[in-house]
Chains A and B, each alone.
Chain A
Amino acid sequence: MSNGAMFRTCPDTGLKFHRPAESLMKANAVAAVVFLLVGGFFGLLVGLTRWPEVHLLEAESFYLVLTGHGINVLIFWIIFFEMAVLQFCSSTLLGCRLATPQLAWTAWGLMVAGALINNYAVLWLGNSSVMMTSYAPMPADPLFYLGLILFAVGALINCFIFLATLVIARSERTYQGSIPLVTFGALTAAIIAIFTIASGAIILIPTFLWSVGIVSNIDAGVYRLIWWAFGHSSQQINVSAHVAVWYAIAAIVFGAKPLSEKVSRVAFLMYIAVLQIASAHHLLVDPGLSSEWKIFNTSYAMYLAVMASMVHGLTVPGSIEAAQRARGLNSGLFEWLRKAPWGNPVFSGMFLSLVGFGVLGGITGVVMGAEQINLVMHNTLYVPGHFHGTVVVGTTLAFMALTYWLVPILFRRELILPKLASWQPYIFGLGMAGVALFLMGAGTLGVPRRHWDILFSGAADGGYEFSAAALTMMSLNGMSVVLACLGGALFILIVVGSLLFGRRLDEGAKVGREMIAATPADSAYKGIGVGAITIPGTLAMVFVFFAAFVLYYFINWKYLAETWGIS
């Protein structure tokens, strides 16, 4: 194939798409959306069952569906999408051919097969309702572990293909100087993914062998230690990936450039630097681990990552503010934000993701990760409340926002139902923020996670009567789940509808609106902001955030101090 046939230059953005990479990105993105649909539907069933007045499913179906929900959305949807992000950030952003597309198809096939096998074990065999964490020694079907292992192998291959593509781009000089910031973010995600999958292999392979009778015993404590090295760092992949997507969208919508490449890149590097045993904050009330170990591994491992996220939380909106001000929206603290394109789902989704991740997911994760505070939160609904803030409002909403841009640019289809699309991030974001808040509220009142019946209608000698406030929280959570699922369904309707029925954009045809905003000239950046501070609006916002953080942090220490003495 000649070079011209191998590549397509996007008429709107000037990006050079390697055709084989393009097909792979589409395949990964489509697989992602399919699993989002499946897992999201299960989420609806979970929410409706937890709604005390509705209590939809029977116990066994509830635990089965809860297992399927976690695995399909948290693992399959997100990681398939991340594979597309890795391919985009390497091949497309560097204008380079993707290394070994053939192998990348094998990886895709392995991942699809793994996901199907795992779902077969959970949904069809019905003997693998072990939740996403599959804590040994509770056994699942061997196919459950096998499916996850195949999926992980596929993902691992894609990470190496990503690295190989970076090497090719460098040696073929498809770009000058350093790789772009967004690619750098993707690189951190890929490196973390390799570590993550290695940990996953160390624990899932013996567990698989145990499930078929070759290994005789899996220690519950060791399982948790290694499983969380995998489980925790996989969340770090998501954070790196969605932060990279935030930067990408800031560039797409505003032509924003990083305030400082150095700060943003070092912040990404910190995610890698603190990987080792960051699983500690999942084990804070586990037996057999000393407080010294817990404190060291949560603080070096977590607070550094937290710092990094807090830095991105300034630099992403800060870069937007600077670009807007350079464009003349320079008056007051917030003109730049007021006049942002709130009707464009690419922007609104990204901005809601940023705020939601920081406020709902970030603050609560740090509070819950303080060694002693964990005593009053561990395994309550506070935990899923927290991670619906990080992974759904944060990661999922960011990926949805990017998808609205990818539909015309990658899939070459005009978006259908643009009016609905402009509402979708708000509906989904609001619903999911409700889920996060009400689950955390219920968790604070002691309501357990992964629990079918908090009314204890079947407990032999009576159960425990949770407060009316806790039950109200669960009803409100149910309503929020419905709203969020409406938003999720709209997303799938719009995206799938566009791929099937959207107006086709021919090779040379332009979308007709600006798909990557022009960067303001360097000279336009001179004299923006107030005095020496170029981004006063963002600074004001992060200080409000910080005040809320400090307040909430100490409130929880006080809450802890009111319970029984423990030593």
Chain B
Amino acid sequence: MTSLAPPTKQVWWREHIEKGELIWITVVVVWGIIMTLMMPFWHVYGDQNLSGETYKTTPAAFLEKTQAVVDQWTVRTEGQFNKPVVKPPVGADIYLVGRLWDWWPSYELEAGQSYRMHIMSTDWQHGFSLQPANINLQVLPGYDAVITVTPNKAGEYAIVCNEYCGVGHHNMVGKIYVTEGRG
């Protein structure tokens, strides 16, 4: 009988399986396993993995740490609002605030060097979208997420917000400069 009527054999789980179906099911199962293994494989051999290191904190505490970094390592300010550009030492813990509606402060990093970047929102949810590297992270209030970044190309990068955060969302842009490494 068709799919609109009860099966002819009343006990459907005793029906036979087509050979074509068996071939396909085998392929599909193997492929599912390969795809599942790809993710742990990349953790071992790939260079793009999130550690998941996260600390619960408050906006005030996070802002305080950000301010300390700004006070210590700002090399210049720029733009209409004199936004600080911070040039941290290699390997430093650096802090990026996402808030309505900007990313604060700007950074200047060296290509080929690693930095421990803490990202958190102090109000609503935001989306960290680094262009043109196209790295995208969800940014939440209360969650200090640590990502160790290693820029691989010198240039000027923009941080676009790609989680909707109200009417100023499309103007929420930050900056990261990457300079040529010392080799």
Give the distance to chain A from B37, nearest Cβ to Cβ, in Å.
9
A299 within 8 A of B: yes
Query: With the chains together, A137 CA to B40 CA distance in Å?
Result: 33
Q: How far is the CA of A204 from the CA of B172 in the complex (A)?
A: 28
The answer, yes or no, to whether B131 is at the interface (CB within 8 Å) is yes
A–B pairs, 29, beta carbons within 8 Å? A135-B124, A137-B123, A180-B4, A181-B7, A260-B15, A287-B54, A287-B145, A291-B39, A299-B32, A306-B32, A307-B32, A310-B28, A371-B42, A374-B136, A375-B48, A448-B162, A452-B169, A456-B173, A461-B79, A461-B83, A461-B173, A463-B158, A542-B24, A546-B31, A557-B42, A564-B151, A566-B135, A567-B51, A567-B148
Nearest A residue to B144 via CB reads: A287
CB distance from A514 to the nearest CB of B (A): 13
Residue A19, interface by CB 8 Å? no
**A460 near B80 (CB under 8 angstroms)?**
yes
Inter-chain CA distance A506–B62, complex, in Å, is 72
- Give residues in B with beta carbon < 8 Å to A: 1-7, 9-21, 23-25, 27-29, 31-32, 35-36, 38-40, 42-43, 46-52, 54, 56, 78-81, 83, 102, 114, 119, 121, 123-125, 127, 129-145, 147-152, 158, 160-167, 169-171, 173, 175
The chain A residue with its CB closest to the CB of B13 is A262
A553 to B32, CA, bound (A): 12
- Asked if A178 and B12 make an inter-chain contact with CB atoms under 8 angstroms apart, the answer reads yes
Whether the pair B170, A220 counts as a contact (CB closer than 8 A) is no
Q: Which residues of A contact B17 (CB under 8 A)?
A: 259-260, 262-263
A219 at the interface (CB under 8 A from B): yes
Contact (Cβ within 8 A) A561 B5: no
From known contacts A175-B6, A221-B142, A516-B4, infer whether A459 and B173 are also in contact, taking CB-CB under 8 Å: yes
Complex: how many Å from CA A53 to CA B47? 39
- Residue contact B140 to A221, C-beta cutoff 8 Å: yes
- By secondary structure, the B interface counts as mixed
CB A416 to nearest CB in B, in angstroms, measures 26
Identify A560's interface contact among B24, B48, B56, CB under 8 A: B48
Task: Tell whether A176 pairs with B10 under 8 Å between CB atoms, given A259-B21, A567-B49.
Answer: yes
Q: Which residues of A contact B (CB under 8 A)?
A: 59-60, 63, 93, 130-131, 135, 137-138, 175-182, 219-221, 224, 247-248, 250-252, 255-265, 283, 285-291, 295, 298-299, 303-304, 306-307, 310-311, 314-315, 318-319, 366, 370-372, 374-380, 444-446, 448-454, 456, 458-464, 466-467, 516, 519, 532-536, 538-539, 542, 546, 549-550, 553, 557, 560-561, 563-567
Given contacts A563-B133, A566-B150, contact A288 B32 (CB under 8 A): no
Across chains A and B, the number of contacting residue pairs, with CB separation under 8 Å, is: 326
Q: Is the CB of A566 within 8 A of B47?
A: yes
Q: Which of B3, B31, B102, B143 contacts A550 (CB 8 A)?
A: B31
8 Å CB contact of B170 from A178, A452, A461, A550 = A452
Q: How many Å lie between the Cα of A14 and that of B15 in the bound state? A: 27
Residues of A within 8 A of B42 (CB): 371-372, 557
| Distance of A566 Cα from B147 Cα, bound (Å) | 7
The answer to whether B31 and A260 have CB atoms under 8 Å apart is no
> Which chain B residue has the least Cβ–Cβ distance from A460?
B80
Please measure, in the bound complex, the distance between the C-alpha atom of A288 and the C-alpha atom of B7, giving whole angstroms. 48
With most chain A CB atoms within 10 A of its CB, the pick from B24, B133, B144 is B24
Query: In the assembly, what is the distance between CA of A534 and CA of B14, in Å?
Result: 20
Q: Which residues of A contact B163 (CB under 8 A)?
A: 135, 379, 450
- Chain B's nearest CB lies how many Å from the CB of A252? 7
B4 A372 Cβ-Cβ under 8 A: no
**Is A291 in contact with B32, judged by CB distance below 8 angstroms?**
no
Residues in chain A near residue B50, CB distance under 8 A: 285, 291, 371-372, 375, 566-567
Which 4 residue pairs spanning A and B have beta carbons closest together? A565-B150, A177-B10, A448-B162, A287-B145
Residues of B within 8 A of A560 (CB): 46, 48
Residues from chain A with Cβ under 8 Å of B49 in the complex = 291, 372, 566-567
A291 to B54, CA, bound (A): 12
Which residues of the partner chain B approach A448 to less than 8 Å between Cβ atoms? 127, 129, 160-162
**Are B169 and A561 in contact (CB-based, < 8 A)?**
no
Of the candidates A180, A221, A459, A539, which one forms a contact with B23 in the assembled complex, judged by CB atoms under 8 Å apart? A539
> In the bound complex, what is the Cα–Cα distance between A138 and B148 (angstroms)?
29
Which residues of chain A have C-beta atoms less than 8 A from B144's C-beta?
287
